[in-house]
Structure 1
């Protein structure tokens, strides 16, 4: 196994997590200070979802023509430009367009990076190494809000730090090999439908986690502010959720190398349901802090286990194609989650965010209790 390449690809993807973690909450807090409502902020949070759908469609075609490593480097540099322009052009309509561009560019990085990592790892270490990727990515996002708290939300340093990270990280990919080969194809929604029918539990879990992550970085700070907490406490709560996501991914990955992965999947879904329902009840008590940890850990566990199950089934072009479908589902979750939660928070209930996650987790639990939730066994 190419360990140096594994850590180089891992580090380049982590730079994206840190860049998003330090810049995306700043966008929401800036819009809140400008007087925009929850729905307008939810629309902004959902814009990258359209970019995700486009990025998933063209990722394999571009990788076939340019090469995986070359395309990842170009996308990281383009992402740096897009985040930098958020600071230069402080306008709601312009930010909508920039968030769309960020969605396209960074989706390609995730599709290729996750495919590359899953291609590199050996089967007996798959759970732990894929979990290390999930854990490290969550920690990079955790560091973003913490770093933003140090830099302050009244200036544009968060945007410039994010752009700087994406300028430097492509250098790590120079001379790396072992990337999966890709054919020049476009992923259609018909292909996605067939993927969802074959692996419905994974499809549901990925879309649910995408909605979770989009809302945590954008709407959760606003949710906490409107429940009476200060901006510092709101950012600390966001960070606590990501801590939960990060801290338990390695144990989950280790268990996935020894225990039935489908049973772990169901356990995470049940814990996500329970923690989502507990948030409105315990928000004003000290118990909310361990609930935030469990909330993040259970949601992150679903995504990590989904990547592990994908990696054990597919290789090369089929692996890139499967990760493109994961990206499509990510885009759908990122689009639907913030829009529904933003509208629900403004017009129905201030607790729409956790209640939406509870509804999604309940649907997943019901699906997992049925036969065929993971399709037929297809060895890699």
Structure 2
């Protein structure tokens, strides 16, 4: 196994998590300060999801033309330019366009990077290696809001930090080998409905975690502010959720190499359901902190196990195609989650975020109980 390449690819993808962890809350807080409502902020948070859908349809074709490594480097640099423009041109309409482009570029990196990591992983360590990547990505998101707190939200330092991180991620991929060999035609993102029918629990888990991640970075700080917390405490709540995600991914990966992955899948869904329902009841008590830890851990476990289950079955073109479907579902989750939460929060209930996550977790539990995780005949 190419350990140097594994860690370099992990670091390159993780640089995105840190960059987004710094810039996404900053965008939401800026919009809040400018007087925009929950729906406008939710719409901005959902904009990259449209870019995700576009990026998923292009990743295989572009990788077949440019090559996996070169394309990942190009997209990281284009993402850096787009983040720089967020700092230079502060306009809602321009930010919508830039967030759309960021979604396209960074989605390509995610699809190819996660395919590369899964292809490098040997089967007996797959759970731990994928979970190690998931832990690193979650930690990057934890450090993002903490770093933003240290940098402050009154200047553009957060945006410029994101630019530097994305440029560094591109440099890490110089000279790396072992990437999936991609045929641009066969690795395209076509066949999403078949993928969802064949793997409904995995498909829903990806959408649910995408909605969770988009809402944690953009709407959870606003949720905290509107429930009476200070900005510092609201950002700290985001960090605690991500601590839960990061802290338990390696134990979940270890268990995934030793016991039934479907059982773990089911347990994560149940914990997410219970913790989501507990957030409104415990919000102003000390119990909120362990609840937020379990909330983050269970949501992150769903995505980690989805990647593990996909990676054990597919290689090269099929693996990239499966990850393109994952990206498409991610885009749908990022699009629907913030928009629905912003709308329900503004017009129905201030506790829309945890309650909608509870509804999503209930649907997942029903799917995994009825259909299992990965049927023997699954194809991407």
Shorter-chain TM-score bucket reads over 0.9
Size of the alignment, in residue pairs?
380
Task: Output the aligned Cα RMSD.
Answer: 1.4
* Aligned equivalent of 2:243: 243
Question: Structure 1 residues 160-169 or 124-133, which shifts more?
Answer: 160-169
How big is the shift at 1:375?
2.4
* Aligned equivalent of 1:65: 65
Contact 2:189/2:324 (CA < 8 Å) preserved in 1? no
* Aligned equivalent of 1:18: 18
CA distance in 2, matches of 1:82, 1:379: 36
* Aligned equivalent of 2:183: 183
CA distance in 1, matches of 2:377, 2:125: 20
CA distance in 1, matches of 2:347, 2:335: 18
* Aligned equivalent of 1:6: 6
Contact 1:31/1:41 (CA < 8 Å) preserved in 2? yes
CA distance in 2, matches of 1:358, 1:370: 18
Question: Under a length normalisation based on structure 2, what TM-score does the superposition of the two structures give?
Answer: 0.98
DSSP-derived class of the 2:370 partner? coil
CA distance in 2, matches of 1:66, 1:377: 32
How big is the shift at 1:189?
7.4
* Aligned equivalent of 2:207: 207
DSSP-derived class of the 2:124 partner? helix
CA distance in 2, matches of 1:234, 1:378: 42
How big is the shift at 1:374?
2.7
How big is the shift at 1:184?
1.4
How big is the shift at 1:169?
1.8
Contact 2:181/2:317 (CA < 8 Å) preserved in 1? yes
* Aligned equivalent of 1:369: 369
What's the CA shift string for 1:105-151, capped at 9, x where partnerless? 00000000000000001000000000000000000011000000000
* Aligned equivalent of 1:125: 125
* Aligned equivalent of 2:221: 221
Question: Structure 1 residues 362-371 or 89-98, which shifts more?
Answer: 362-371
* Aligned equivalent of 1:291: 291
CA distance in 2, matches of 1:3, 1:266: 32
Contact 1:44/1:96 (CA < 8 Å) preserved in 2? yes
CA distance in 2, matches of 1:332, 1:197: 16
CA distance in 2, matches of 1:201, 1:331: 17
* Aligned equivalent of 2:156: 156
| Residues 1:323 and 2:341 are matched in the alignment | no
Contact 2:224/2:234 (CA < 8 Å) preserved in 1? yes
| Residues 1:359 and 2:353 are matched in the alignment | no
TM alignment of 1:296-315, pairs within 5 A: 296-315=296-315
The unaligned stretches of length 5 or more in structure 2 are none
How big is the shift at 1:207?
0.3
What's the CA shift string for 1:242-268, capped at 9, x where partnerless? 000000000000000001000000000
Contact 2:188/2:324 (CA < 8 Å) preserved in 1? no
Distance 1:368 1:186, change over 3 A: same
What's the CA shift string for 1:54-104, capped at 9, x where partnerless? 000000000000000000000000000001111101100110001000100
CA distance in 2, matches of 1:171, 1:99: 23
What's the CA shift string for 1:320-360, capped at 9, x where partnerless? 00000000000000000000000000000000000000000
Distance 1:186 1:312, change over 3 A: closer
CA distance in 2, matches of 1:10, 1:373: 26
* Aligned equivalent of 1:51: 51
CA distance in 1, matches of 2:132, 2:157: 29
DSSP-derived class of the 1:195 partner? helix
How big is the shift at 1:185?
2.4
What's the CA shift string for 1:218-238, capped at 9, x where partnerless? 000000000000000000000
DSSP-derived class of the 2:219 partner? helix
DSSP-derived class of the 1:286 partner? coil
How big is the shift at 1:183?
1.2
DSSP-derived class of the 1:248 partner? helix
* Aligned equivalent of 1:232: 232
DSSP-derived class of the 1:177 partner? coil
Question: Under a length normalisation based on structure 1, what TM-score does the superposition of the two structures give?
Answer: 0.98
* Aligned equivalent of 1:275: 275
CA distance in 2, matches of 1:146, 1:171: 25
CA distance in 2, matches of 1:56, 1:190: 10
